[in-house]
Structure 1
Amino acid sequence: MSTGKTTTPAAGVATTSKPLGMRKNGKQWHEPKKAFRPTRGLKSYEKRTQERALMAQVKAKEKEMKEEKEQEHKQRVAAIKEKRERKAEKERYEELEAKMHKKRVERLKRKEKRNKMINS
């Protein structure tokens, strides 16, 4: 009889883990409903504040990364614009050299460089 007593709790455990079988109403494809527990997903105030602090750190890091990316983009654009300006200026001086005397063109170049240094 002692063996029968030890097997009965095991049998009770087995019945809870064993599937329920066919449902009477024929809706076998639906999962059996569970108890409604409205407070199950709620978290304590400390956990919520920790999560908010973590999200703030993540957002700050994302913002920093976006700013770095934007800065790199602006630098590339500025470099391209500067290169185009130099090319246009070079072409303009070549055109001037063809029309004017070489010494006068060189004087104009020096004058423009001086003006740029003074203005910047």
Structure 2
Amino acid sequence: MSIPAAPPSILTTPGIRKNGKQWHAQKSAFRPKAGQTSFEKRTQERKALAATKAKEKEMKDEKEEERQRRIQAIKDKRAAKEEKERYEKMAEKMHRKRVERLKRREKRNKMLKS
């Protein structure tokens, strides 16, 4: 003779609430220290967050550097184009050799200034 085992996990439903507000969700007991984590776990989370922030900053810096490089390339290209147009206008008025001589002289002055 064996004693029959209890049926596996019978679903228990709470009875009718005393205050009659059955539509409200059931509240659990207030436990003030329930959500606390250990100091080691908090320090690990802080380290992980710091590493993530450092990686994000590095990626942003790389992106900004690439953007600045592109902007500088565009500015250089525009400056070269303007200079070329200026020399072409000079060449219309002056002799070609004189324009080349002026170009060389301006390049020397640029090298001295920088």
What range describes the TM-score normalised by the shorter chain of this pair?
Answer: 0.7 to 0.9
| Amino acid across the alignment from 1:28 | Q
Q: Does residue 83 of structure 2 align to residue 89 of structure 1? A: yes
Match of 2:110 in 1: 116
The amino acid that maps onto 1:2 is I
Structure 1 residue ranges without an equivalent (≥5): none
Identity over the aligned pairs, expressed in percent?
59
TM-score (norm 2): 0.86
Q: What is residue 20 of structure 1 aligned with on the other side?
A: 14
* Structure 1 partner of 2:3: 2
Count the aligned residue pairs: 113
Cα drift, residue 19 of structure 1: 2.6
Q: Equivalent residue for 1:105?
A: 99
Let me know the Cα RMSD of the aligned residues.
Answer: 2.0
Q: Deviations over 1:7-60 (max 9, x none)?
A: 2xx47x41xx33325435442221111011111111000001000111110010
Matched, 1:49 2:43: yes
Query: Could you state the TM-score of these two structures normalised by the residue count of structure 1?
Result: 0.82
Give the unaligned 5+ runs of structure 2. Answer: none
